[in-house]
Amino acid sequence: MLGGARISGSGAYLQAPELTVGGGLYLGRGFACTGMVNLYGASVGGSVALGDSTLAPHVPGRQALHLECAEIGGDIESVGGGLTVHGPVDLRDTSVRGSVVLRGARFHNPSDSGLALNAARLRVGGDLDLRGGLVAYGTIDLCDARVGGSVLLEGADLTAHDSQPALRGNGIETGGVLNLCDGFTAHGRISLNSVTVRSRLCFDDAALDVPAGGTALSCRGSSAATLSLHTREASAGIIDLRQSRFGMLRDDPAAWPAGLVLDGAVYDSVQPALPARTRLPWLGRDPAGFVPQPYEQLAATCQRQGQDAEARTVLVAKHRSMRPTLAPPARLWSLLQDATVGYGYRPMRAVVLLLGFLTLGTALFTAWPPTVVGDGKAPHFQAAIYTLDLLLPLVDLGQERSYAPDGALQWAAVVLIGTGWLLATTVAAGAGRVLRRT
């Protein structure tokens, strides 16, 4: 028990590697050390108490607390707050049967590059609790940590050195929630690639402070039951959710980030359930430009919820967004499909166009009937059937081969025939696209 002890002076250290303690280890109540506290490989049957202690090595960037590869039977805790550390804390490969509770701690690595807290591959049976106004200057590294309970950083304030991440947690697995919310602030990017969260990954009321165009949050290949992105304000940086999977994705249109990468992201539902036209700008924020998969994913989500009209709106928007990426001939063909049948998702447009041209042709050929072709007996002329015979390719109603228009009406017939072929082709292309999706 070293509560209240002070170890100071040049070359001062607490060297106790592979220490074995049957009960708890108490380094709180005003404990201070101006050198490294070396507990590498220690085995502590109870808890390690760090409340109201100060660790400040003489050499900037030198480890303040070396608790790597330790076995802790209870908790590592600083419940009463007051833990102040000027140098890296090393908890790599340490196993804690209880929880790690460092509420209100102050971590500061004065070195220009480096870690404030290195807890890579940390194994915790309970919670990893970094709430209570925890402040860190330097990276917090939680890569490949295994936490049976929850990872809690509500209200924490993290600041990175230069281009370093404020929080690096790639590969975390947690049985509860991963909360970076309720006042959480990160000055620097957050890297949470390939994480597994059994419950909620939450950024509600969080501030992600990075320069414009930088990555605010990288969450590639991750999974969570719920991802909540109600951030305090819209981030100027990019949120990258590539290849991730979420049961529910919650966000706030007022806080959509400047850049959003959704390529390969899969979700079962999205809230709030906005109209498709309102949600479309959300899909168009990928810095790489047009990517088709996010449109397909949102359309599939709408269909699962029975919103077929909304799904069609999204799919039409997908083709319109793709149009500028096409070669000029393909772009023209895309425009034609859009105007006529809405890429196959608006088939009634073709019917309306067909009826319009049928009405126009019927009126023209009623006023100026065509002449009979050949010496044979021609069927009785009917302007509507004659117009329909011109409009419908591969269909012979007996009128087109028996009558031929004169003068300027020849061009009207050519327009009707061409329109028929264009309508038939675009309808076939659109129908094929819809059938392939089905």
CB-CB neighbours of 325 under 10 Å? 10
What does the pLDDT read at residue 11?
A: 61
Residue at 426: amino acid letter: T
Query: How far does the chain reach from its first CA to its final CA, in angstroms?
Result: 70
CB 208 within 8 A of CB 235: yes
Q: Write down the residue that tokens 């998969």 correspond to.
A: 293
Strands across the sheet containing 54-55:
6-7, 32-33, 54-55, 84-86, 106-108, 135-137, 157-159, 185-187, 207-209
Distances (CA, A) of 3 to 10, 52, 54, 148, 290: 21, 9, 11, 30, 60
Cα gap 382→358, rounded to integer Å: 12
Judge if pTM exceeds 0.95. Answer: no
What does the pLDDT read at residue 420?
A: 81
Cα gap 229→179, rounded to integer Å: 11
Q: Can you give the residue ranges of every domain in the chain?
A: 6-252+260-267, 329-437
Q: Write down the residue that tokens 């690595």 correspond to.
A: 109
Angle between helices 328-341 and 347-367 in degrees, nearest 10: 80
CA angle 267, 149, 204 (to 5 degrees): 50
CB 152 within 8 A of CB 181: no
100, 218, 93, 194: which is closest to 145 by C-alpha? 93
Phi, psi (deg, nearest 5) at residue 190: -115, 125
What does the pLDDT read at residue 14?
A: 81
What does the pLDDT read at residue 434?
A: 55
Question: Which two three-digit tokens encode residue 363?
Answer: 């009126």
What does the pLDDT read at residue 436?
A: 54
Distances (CA, A) of 30 to 3, 27, 51, 53: 7, 8, 8, 5
Cα gap 247→78, rounded to integer Å: 35
Render 199-258 in DSSP notation, one character per residue.
Answer: EEEE-TT-EEE--TTSEEEE-TT-EEEEEEE--SS--SSEEE-TT-EEEEEEE-GGG--S
Partners of 90 in the β-ladder: 66, 118
Residue at 64: amino acid letter: A
Q: What is the mean pLDDT of each run of 10 residues along the chain (438 residues)?
A: 68 80 87 87 93 82 88 89 88 96 90 85 97 93 97 95 92 97 96 97 96 95 97 95 96 94 96 92 93 94 89 91 90 81 74 83 87 77 85 80 83 84 70 56
CB 216 within 8 A of CB 238: yes
70, 64, 67: which is closest to 45 by C-alpha? 70
Question: Which two three-digit tokens encode residue 417?
Answer: 């025939």
Angle between helices 308-322 and 328-341 in degrees, nearest 10: 160
Phi, psi (deg, nearest 5) at residue 416: -65, -40
Looking at beta carbons, which pairs linking 316-322 to residues 24 or more positions away fall under 8 Å?
316/342, 316/343, 316/345, 316/346, 317/276, 317/280, 317/283, 318/292, 319/343, 321/283, 321/284, 321/290, 321/295, 322/290, 322/292
